[in-house]
Amino acid sequence: MCGIVGYVGSEQAAPILLEGLTRLEYRGYDSAGIAVLTGSGPKVAHAVGRVRDLQAALPKRLSGKVGIGHTRWATHGPATEANAHPHRSADGRIMLVHNGIIDNATALRSELEADGVQFTSDTDTEVLAHLIGRSEAPALEDRVIKALQRITGTYAVAVLDAQLPDRIVVARQGSPLIIGIGDREMFVGSDASALVRHTSQVVHLDDGELAIVTAGGYETFTADRARTSKQPEELTLRADELQLEGHDTFLHKEIHEQPTSLERMLSGRLDDRFATARLDGLGIDARELRGFRRVKAIGCGSSFYIGQLGASMIEDLARIPADAEAASEFRYRNPIVEPDTLYVAVSQSGETADTLFAVREIQRKGGRVVGLVNVVGSSIARECDGGIYLHAGPEVSVASTKVLTHMGVGFALLALLLGRVHDLSYADGARIVAGLRALPSQVQQVLDSEDEIAVVAKGLAQSPSSFFIGRVRGYAVAREGAQKLKEISYQHAEAYQASELKHGPLALISPQMPTVAIVPDDELVERNLGALHEIAARSGPVIAVTHPGVEFGDLAAERIVVPHGEVELDPIVLTIPLQLLAYHAAAALGRDIDRPRNLAKSVTVE
Ligand code: AGP
């Protein structure tokens, strides 16, 4: 999704902007641009494609110490140079980069065009550049405030004025924006990764805030010019965490980081004495926890699927009703928010607009919502009423892998805690504590069988379409497996409950339609094998992801066997081979694994 970077200081701005944009590349985008205030006036360059294409398009002389840059993920209008940011006011004085969506852009555009303004792009953003350019307020920040008052929608903006070459004015409403503090230089970014090479001290703007950023510092305020006070925070992200370290892709690196990152996440969170979990960040004591009669997970995409997995863990261990819903739907259906429901917002980035707005809707209706979030200090993490940080480290690849595993473990910890304040016995609590402790080595065992999984993946890659099936706990695993394959290999994959096959999709089973079947060694194993009989009778090839000792006979041509632990936790380990299947299928097809087409890492638009 779109990325913003800005610099004001004593160094040349262009190389710093390009470096920041390169670090934002992982978010997914289709075009990029920068604007620099030089001694001979503002210079703006745009390019379709990668940051290296922008670098090639830069003017020869680009000497200036103030600038802004942007990577664009097309929403209004295709990926063209004309639509790439920065956008300019008609007189060229104002330059602007914007993340988010201006909902009333069409009406404002008609109004401006009727007034003689000629637009040069199809974007919603250009409206804002013209509104600021036409404002008669004396100070840049007042012009920005006046223009923003005319728009509805979401934004993070960074604005340059050619006549005020010492500053960047920034504003935030619904899209993240941070200010990086340097020594007589300041940075602006939509994402900490854009700033991490230069500073570890940052300030997060809140919704409704603006700031004037100069080389000497920053001043934050609201739209009515009331000063706000901000406490700088230490970035937890390190620049060396954003290196490939010998892997061919970030996805491969992130899959292999899991044993270590899981150890880190579990450290200090398992309580052997009381056979429970320590989750102080939730900020909910045992008595309050007992009062919750229901749990509802909300998230988008894969985070929603892991929410579904988490709900089944909570029902298994705590025996209270739990379910999951796509945050993107939840917020639009006037949801009934119950006071005795614990809502759990699930998000890697902590910036997904649909999830963030669902959190606000729950809070507006008086509900209690905690976050299961990876990015420290992100909007969802800050706005929730407590939570569990996932501590997976940065995830660069657009497709999520390690963070999803951490989400599964986060739900297991929450289920254990809720279980122990309800009716989960000490013995069962101790069994889950031991099971969680064993997870990193079980994940490592799956990773050790990567070569065999790669062979199976090469076969799967040849099929333009496949089914992923699972039952109860295995269904969420199947959904996530199908999602991963689709995202990075572009092969069609559809997840189904194994029990539902005979109610329709069986019609599609043929020798050309493989099925990846999740068959854990649990109380449903015979039922799962029954579904495989239905597939075998129609000559459908089966890849079984299973546990040692499950007897398939001729039912599955391929088997991927993973270690068997505690049944409630097994779905977490069962997702790991599906990550490797998707990775190797995508590699066999020569896909751009870390930056799949059309997708963005952090979906900050609705
Ligand atoms: C996962 O591989 C996807 N890229 C996507 O479904 C993602 O999980 C979803 O957009 C939610 O993102 P979040 O966890 O950052 O909120």
Q: Roughly what angle, to the nearest 10 degrees, separates helices 473-489 and 570-588?
A: 20
CA dihedral 237, 243, 248, 254 (to 10 degrees): -20
Q: Is the pLDDT of residue 439 over 80?
A: yes
Greatest CA separation found in the chain?
80
pLDDT the model gives residue 241: 75
For 77-118, what is each residue's pLDDT tens digit?
Answer: 888 999 999 999 999 999 999 998 899 999 999 999 999 999
Pocket test for ligand 1, best of 1, 303, 331, 359 (most atoms within 8 A of CB): 303
Residue nearest to atom 4 of ligand 1 (CA): 399
Tell me the C-alpha distance between 562 and 547, whole Å: 5
Please tell me the distance between residue 99's alpha carbon and the centre of ligand 1 in angstroms.
18
Q: What is the pLDDT of residues 359-371, one digit of tens each?
A: 999 999 999 999 9
Position 28 scores a pLDDT of 65
| Amino acid, single-letter form, for residue 396 | V
Distance 300 CA to ligand 1 centre (A): 6
Task: Specify the pLDDT at position 110.
Answer: 96
Q: What is the mean pLDDT of residues 167-178?
A: 94
Strand order in the sheet with 3-8: 41-48, 31-38, 66-72, 3-8, 186-189, 178-181, 201-204, 233-234
Q: Do residues 423 and 282 lie in contact, with contact meaning Cβ atoms separated by under 8 Å? A: no
24 alpha-carbon distance from chain centroid = 13
Is residue 601 annotated as a catalytic residue, yes or no? yes
pTM of the model: 0.83
Count CB-CB contacts under 10 A for residue 120.
12
Q: Whose CA is nearest to atom 16 of ligand 1?
A: 347
Matching residue, tokens 């050309």: 512
Q: 10 Å Cβ neighbour count for 136?
A: 7
Could you report the per-residue pLDDT of 31-74, keeping only the tens digit for each?
999 999 999 999 999 999 888 999 998 988 899 999 999 998 88
Cβ(347) to ligand 1 under 6 A? yes
More confident residue, 493 or 25: 493
Is there a catalytic annotation at residue 230? no
